């Protein structure tokens, strides 16, 4: 992806795009992918980086949603299981089959979870990732070395998907780019334009890096801004009622030794009635999540002290090796864009996780709710509105079987895996210039070559883009990310032709950000 090349395409202000998508997270990318699969022309803009918000802050699971099954939301689970299967087929370099173990401490639990997960298996049909089964206390302890033994009767094993969310977003953005989509990060919508009958016919956008403004003419605008959807809805109709209720979910990242083994732990009942996961991810352990209503949508939400305590206390009830605040390598928070509840209801578990496509009077299309696993289906359902908004016929959706950028049936091992087929090209850069093979940090495998690659080919514009979303170091070990930042800034400056002042500013910005991911004492 070449940002400058895509900017040139915006210079022709008379060009009429079929669809303009606002938002470069999971739902916006799903819309772009599906529209392009039908032969429509697409421009996608995001005010910051692809997946900067909620879409890079998930529990890293591609899942049908075991707990939605418990709530009786059968259709949501069926849809998600189908999409889970497709995702694992279309992006084998970024997705994994992850076994989970539910530790069993009572006979009723054994019966309940064994039966429930058999239904989950059956619903997945031929897209099933593995059979669920009951395992003995001895095998449970062997597979989860740090699980509490007192009262343990055994465990129920089931399978779900696991993935690298931000890199998947990037891979989909690159796929859209290759299909002819005009993908632009750091491009903010400043106003919507309408024709004489009040129907939306375009956008005015501002490049947040160069401050240049552009006009975009389009037949349909899609608001896929997640927790920020209300901002665009109010731009369309000042005083529009609130449609989004942000709900915060936080995650703590620990050393893998706190659980041991390769299996993930699922704690089915916490004190607030949620489930808690401890998932092995990129050689660390991601533990989460919470469900805390927040008043305001923020691009950089911060974990509350009570949320951190809740996760540590819940983990303490199940683990022999008890994690404390000083063991946390990084803490990150994301905001779910839940549909605002009806008056008087505040329980987030009552708010539907299924997605909604809303058409306003001006024909602005907004997609709200949903989850990463069903991003493609959300896109398909949204693009279906194109025929109704424009009275134009279009081809059927063909996005279900598109292989995503980097697709390879034999992904490389270790951290190279997430680059898919690009890994070879980066390794060739190192062969040509061995200096680029130097590691950015003694404890992590990431190399200088990857910084150069991400700046040249993955539209990384800031130090944060690389350390948070191209390499996931900020989320894995925030202190290590801060140590790597000066090298990253220098390499990027050479690639982007930036001066010392840019480096200084970038490092100051990143230090401010990095500190939010560190837990003090």
- The mean pLDDT values, 10 residues at a time, for the chain of 521 residues are 97 96 98 98 98 96 80 84 95 96 93 91 89 96 96 96 97 98 98 97 98 98 96 95 92 97 91 86 95 92 96 94 96 90 50 78 93 95 96 97 96 94 98 98 98 98 98 98 98 98 98 95 61
Query: Could you tell me the CA-to-CA distances from 36 to 2, 18, 171, 220 in Å, in that order?
Result: 18, 10, 15, 14
Supply the DSSP symbol for 402.
Answer: P
> What is the per-residue pLDDT for 393?
95
Match 């989850």 to its residue by tokens: 371
Do residues 61 and 161 touch, judged by C-beta distance below 8 A?
yes
Q: Which helix (H) or strand (E) holds 20?
A: strand 16-22
Q: What angle do CA 469, 470, 475 make, to 5 degrees?
A: 40
Write the CB contacts of 4 (distance below 8 Å, at least 6 apart in sequence): none
Rounded to whole angstroms, how far apart are CA atoms 502 and 497?
A: 10
Please tell me the number of Cα atoms within 13 Å of 112 on its side-chain side: 14
Q: Which helix (H) or strand (E) holds 202?
A: strand 200-207
119: alpha, beta or left, given left = phi > 0 and alpha = psi -120 to 50?
Answer: alpha
**Alpha-helical runs (H) found in 320-418:** 375-383, 385-390
Q: What is the pLDDT of residues 76-130, one digit of tens each?
A: 888 899 999 999 999 999 999 999 999 999 999 999 999 999 998 999 888 889 9
> What is the per-residue pLDDT for 521?
61
**Alpha-helical runs (H) found in 406-477:** 422-432, 448-457, 463-464, 473-476
Please tell me the number of Cα atoms within 13 Å of 364 on its side-chain side: 28
Torsions phi, psi for 101 (to 5 deg): -125, 130
> What is the per-residue pLDDT for 407?
98
> What is the per-residue pLDDT for 509?
98
The tokens describing 145, both together, are 């070395």
Supply the DSSP symbol for 297.
Answer: -
CATH 1.10.8, domain 422-515, yes or no: yes
Write the CB contacts of 438 (distance below 8 Å, at least 6 apart in sequence): 447, 448
> What is the per-residue pLDDT for 64?
80
Closest residue by Cα to residue 399 from 370, 374, 363: 374
| Mean pLDDT score across all residues of the chain | 94
Closest residue by Cα to residue 367 from 23, 17, 3, 86: 23
> What is the per-residue pLDDT for 355?
85
Closest residue by Cα to residue 332 from 468, 161, 506: 468
Do residues 24 and 45 touch, judged by C-beta distance below 8 A?
yes
15-54+166-243+352-401: which CATH topology? FAD/NAD(P)-binding domain (3.50.50)
What's the CATH number of domain 95-161+245-341, 3.40.50.720, 3.30.9.10, 3.50.50.60, 3.10.20.30?
A: 3.30.9.10
Rounded to whole angstroms, how far apart are CA atoms 496 and 515?
A: 26
Supply the DSSP symbol for 468.
Answer: I
Match 């401010």 to its residue by tokens: 512
The tokens describing 363, both together, are 């024909």
Please tell me the number of Cα atoms within 13 Å of 275 on its side-chain side: 21
For the chain, the domains span: 15-54+166-243+352-401, 95-161+245-341, 422-515
Output the pTM of the full model.
Answer: 0.96
Rounded to whole angstroms, how far apart are CA atoms 449 and 426?
A: 6
């Amino acid at each position: 992806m070449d940002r400058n090349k895509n900017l040139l395409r915006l210079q022709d202000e008379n060009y009429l795009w079929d669809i303009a998508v606002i938002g470069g997270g999971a739902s916006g990318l799903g819309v772009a992918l599906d529209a392009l699969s039908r032969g429509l022309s697409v421009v996608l803009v995001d005010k910051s980086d692809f997946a900067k918000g909620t879409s890079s802050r998930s529990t890293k699971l591609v899942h049908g949603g075991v707990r939605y099954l418990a709530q009786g939301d059968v259709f949501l689970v069926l849809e998600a299981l189908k999409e889970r299967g497709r995702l694992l087929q279309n992006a084998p370099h970024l997705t994994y089959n992850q076994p989970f173990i539910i530790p069993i401490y009572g006979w009723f639990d054994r019966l309940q979870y064994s039966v429930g997960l058999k239904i989950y298996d059956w619903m997945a049909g031929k897209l099933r990732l593995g059979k669920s089964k009951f395992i003995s206390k001895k095998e449970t302890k062997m597979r989860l070395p740090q699980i509490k033994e007192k009262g343990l009767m055994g465990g129920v094993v089931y399978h779900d998907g696991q993935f690298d969310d931000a890199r998947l977003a990037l891979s989909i953005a690159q796929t859209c780019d290759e299909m002819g989509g005009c993908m632009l990060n750091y491009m903010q919508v400043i106003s919507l334009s309408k024709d004489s009958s009040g129907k939306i016919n375009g956008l005015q956008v501002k490049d947040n890096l160069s401050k240049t403004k552009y006009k975009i003419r389009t037949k349909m605008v899609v608001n896929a801004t997640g927790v920020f959807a209300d901002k665009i809805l109010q731009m369309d109709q000042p005083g529009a009622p609130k449609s989004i209720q942000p709900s915060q979910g936080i995650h703590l990242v620990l050393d893998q030794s706190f659980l041991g083994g390769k299996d993930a732990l699922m704690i089915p009942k916490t004190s607030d009635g949620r489930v808690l996961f401890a998932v092995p991810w990129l050689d660390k352990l991601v533990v989460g999540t919470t469900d805390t209503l927040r008043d305001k949508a923020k691009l950089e939400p911060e974990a509350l002290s009570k949320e951190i305590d809740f996760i540590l206390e819940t983990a303490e009830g199940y683990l022999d090796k008890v994690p404390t605040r000083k063991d946390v390598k990084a803490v990150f928070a994301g905001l779910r864009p839940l549909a605002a509840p009806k008056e008087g209801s505040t329980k987030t578990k009552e708010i539907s996780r299924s997605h909604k496509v809303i058409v306003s009077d001006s024909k602005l299309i907004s997609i709200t709710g949903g989850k990463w696993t069903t991003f493609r289906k959300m896109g398909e359902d949204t693009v279906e509105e194109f025929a109704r908004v424009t009275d134009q016929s279009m081809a059927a959706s063909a996005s279900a079987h598109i292989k995503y950028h980097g697709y390879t049936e034999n992904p490389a091992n270790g951290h190279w895996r997430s680059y898919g087929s690009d890994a070879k090209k980066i390794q060739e850069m190192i062969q040509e210039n061995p200096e680029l093979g130097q590691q950015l940090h003694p404890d992590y495998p990431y190399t200088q070559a990857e910084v150069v690659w991400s700046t040249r080919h993955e539209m990384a514009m800031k130090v944060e883009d690389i350390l948070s979303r191209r390499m996931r170091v900020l989320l894995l070990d925030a202190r290590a990310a801060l140590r790597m930042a000066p090298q990253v800034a220098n390499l990027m400056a050479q690639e982007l032709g930036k001066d010392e002042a840019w480096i200084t500013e970038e490092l100051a910005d990143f230090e401010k950000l990095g500190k939010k991911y560190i837990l003090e004492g």
